Amino acid sequence: MNLILLGPPGAGKGTQGHRLSERYNIPEISTGDILRAAVYKGTPLGQEAKSYMDRGALVPDKVMIGIVRDRLAQDDTERGFILDGFPRTVAQAEALARLAEEQQRPIEHVISIEVPLEALLQRLAGRRQLEGRHDDTDEAVRHRLEVYERETSPLVDYYRRQGLLRCIVGIGTIDEIFQRIAVVL
């Protein structure tokens, strides 16, 4: 099973991705994690990504696709994978589609976890208090939600047109949301 999780910050992608990974015994691949791993290992793509990250710039699509390509080539992805945080733009989705075609591993499911804005703001404020996340300030949260709306939400229409999108109500307990996802898979 090759799966993409979409949703704004605070929607629960990481939590649900973790649970799906355990249930289906396939890796959850977080863009942030694979970027940090590539930088830590000092791979050529990791070094290139680091040069952008050190300047506070976005890592270009070409570098991100290369890092994702390297990660999907690892043995633990043979049975499938869950992508969390990638793609973030339609251009990245198109590049991922070409990569999936090259590797003969099509994306089979795209789950969009839908959560109203007020609930997202409450969750992220709670996460900031509980986990001490400094990147969850009110200003930073609103900025990340604006970036998501502008750059990532167009993926919903992109994948809907392909017949891959399944929208899940992201309100309720973690178990309730997980069951909704499991039903559509």
Euclidean distance between CA atoms 80 and 21, whole angstroms: 10
Residue 176, pLDDT > 90, answer yes
0.75 exceeded by pTM: yes
Active-site residues, by number, are 13, 88, 127, 133, 144
Give the residue extent of every domain in the chain: 2-184
pLDDT at 155: 95
Nearest to 119 by CA among 20, 16, 8: 8
Fold of 2-184: Rossmann fold (3.40.50)
SS3 letters across the chain: CEEEEECCCCCCHHHHHHHHHHHHCCCEEEHHHHHHHHHHHCCHHHHHHHHHHHCCCCCCHHHHHHHHHHHHCCHHHCCCEEEECCCCCHHHHHHHHHHHHHCCCCCCEEEEEECCHHHHHHHHHHHHHHHCCHHHCHHHHHHHHHHHHHHHCHHHHHHHHCCCEEEEECCCCHHHHHHHHHHHC
Confidence class for position 42, pLDDT limits 50, 70, 90:
very high
> Which region, left, alpha or beta, applies to residue 116 given φ > 0 means left and ψ of -120 to 50 means alpha?
beta
169: confidence class by pLDDT, cuts 50, 70, 90: very high
Task: Please give the pLDDT value at position 132.
Answer: 67
pLDDT of residue 79: 95
- Look at the block and give the residue holding tokens 């990791």: 46
Query: pLDDT: is 143 or 135 the higher one?
Result: 143
